[in-house]
Amino acid sequence: MIQLIDELKVIPGVVGACIVNFQDGLKVTNLPAIFKPERLLVVGKHLLELYSAGRASFSDLTDITLNYDESVIVARELEKGSLVFVICDPTFNHNLMTMSLNLLQEEYKLGNFATAESPVGTPAQPQADVTGEIQDLLEEMKGALSKILGPMAGFVFDEVAEEWIEQGASGFSRIEVLIDLLNQEISDQDKINSYRQLISPALKAFQKG
Amino acid sequence: MADAKVFVERIKQMEGVSGCLLIKDDGALLGRALDDAETYTSLMLTTAGLAENIMDKVGFSYCRYVSFNRTNNQTFYIFPIDHYLLGLVQKADCSVADMLDRVYQLIGRVSTDGTRTVS
């Protein structure tokens, strides 16, 4: 059995790929571990929605390409409710990608597709024990961090927040612990001060209830 | 922003562009140079929202454009420009890279706050 998405990864500029089914969730991925399964599933479901919207306008739709500053996402529906998406450097060869996706789609329809030997588990809910109110605050803090650290802020924040949750109660009483952990990641005093300024209004608003 | 109709007309005149439309992020149609503009509006709004959600989820910083690639090669592009969305239909037989360069050049010369205008 062939790991078809591994063949996509051979294309220069391809970071990795992922197949998502709307019902079954994340089927397989060879993206680096920094792309967590629960995030890939959400991205995949957004792409399925996008594909569905595109198909409603264009009956001959083949792929969708989302060009971001850092990377490009190419998505192709394999069959109804299933979609493969590939994350690439902006310099990737689009023609080569299209050919490879055509091949993958054919093989998928023929059933010549094996899922990973280690199936992707049910996405974890890392912040399941975080209450709704503090979750909103965390989202605001995450958004503010992106203004300090740029595109990697989302990854950094989630990693730190997970560590913070594992250490103890995820309530406001320990919010300074979280900020300290984030400050260690920022590791620049000017940026630490800027981050404090950015999140202060949210912290005050939360305290006031 | 530079006068929307002038902007749309400039885009439409570019080599490789078959048609285009400009909407505000609330869906208001500001200028059009293609038929059935209304049918594209909801797709543009849906796309902008989902592309932003994906951007936030993955940690990317800015969406340059989203393209819907078709077997007839008349790719439909959506460019977010501040609070506006430019939709563009590509001619089937054009040089895509050159067309995108020309569009970017014009987008870079317009402003939504009135500080720059199409000249």
For residue range B67-87, list pLDDT tens digits in order: 999 999 899 999 999 899 999
Asked if the Cβ–Cβ distance from A58 to B64 is below 8 Å, we say no
* Residue A53 to residue A47: CA distance in whole angstroms: 10
What is the distance in angstroms between the Cα of B73 and the nearest Cα belonging to chain A?
10
Which carries the bigger pLDDT value, residue B29 or residue B117?
A: B29
For residue range A91-106, list pLDDT tens digits in order: 888 888 988 999 888 8
Asked if the Cβ–Cβ distance from B61 to A66 is below 8 Å, we say no
Pick from A136, A135, A155: nearest CA to A145: A155
CA distances from A156 to A35, A165, A175, A189 (A): 12, 14, 16, 17
For residue range B96-108, list pLDDT tens digits in order: 999 999 998 888 7
Question: For the residues A80-92, what does the mean pLDDT come to?
Answer: 91
Which of A98-107, A137-146, A160-169, B15-24 is predicted most confidently?
B15-24
Task: Please state whether A111 falls in left (phi above 0), alpha (psi between -120 and 50) or beta.
Answer: left
Quickly count: other Cβ atoms within 10 Å of residue B2's Cβ.
17
Locate A43 and state its tokens.
């991205």
* A92, amino acid identity: F
* Residue A25 to residue A46: CA distance in whole angstroms: 12
Which residues in chain A have Cβ-Cβ distances shorter than 8 Å to B70? 58, 60-62
**From chain B, which residues contact A within 8 Å (Cβ)?**
39-40, 42-43, 46-47, 50-51, 53-72, 76
Sheet holding A72-79, edge to edge: A25-29, A14-21, A82-88, A72-79, A61-68, B63-70, B76-81, B84-90, B17-24, B29-32
Asked if the Cβ–Cβ distance from B61 to A151 is below 8 Å, we say yes
Which carries the bigger pLDDT value, residue A27 or residue B117?
A: A27
Asked if the Cβ–Cβ distance from A46 to B53 is below 8 Å, we say yes
SS3 for B64?
A: strand
What is the distance in angstroms between the Cα of A51 and the nearest Cα belonging to chain B?
9
Question: For the residues B1-24, what does the mean pLDDT come to?
Answer: 88
Asked if the Cβ–Cβ distance from B68 to A61 is below 8 Å, we say yes
* Residue B12 to residue B22: CA distance in whole angstroms: 11
Asked if the Cβ–Cβ distance from B76 to A46 is below 8 Å, we say no
Beta-carbon contacts of B69 under 8 Å, excluding residues fewer than 6 positions away, are A61, A62, A63, A64, A65, A98, B75
Note the pLDDT of residue B119: 40
What secondary structure, in 3-state letters, does A19-82 show? EEECCCEEEEECCCCCCCHHHHHHHHHHHHHHHHHHHHHCCCEEEEEEEECCCEEEEEEEECCE
Asked if the Cβ–Cβ distance from B68 to A71 is below 8 Å, we say no
Residues listed for chain A = 209
A71 touches chain B (CB under 8 A): yes
Asked if the Cβ–Cβ distance from B54 to A63 is below 8 Å, we say no
Locate A107 and state its tokens.
């093989």
What is the distance in angstroms between the Cα of A112 and the nearest Cα belonging to chain B?
25
Quickly count: other Cβ atoms within 10 Å of residue A104's Cβ.
23
Which residues in chain A have Cβ-Cβ distances shorter than 8 Å to B65? 67
pLDDT at A201 over 70: yes
pLDDT at B51 over 90: yes
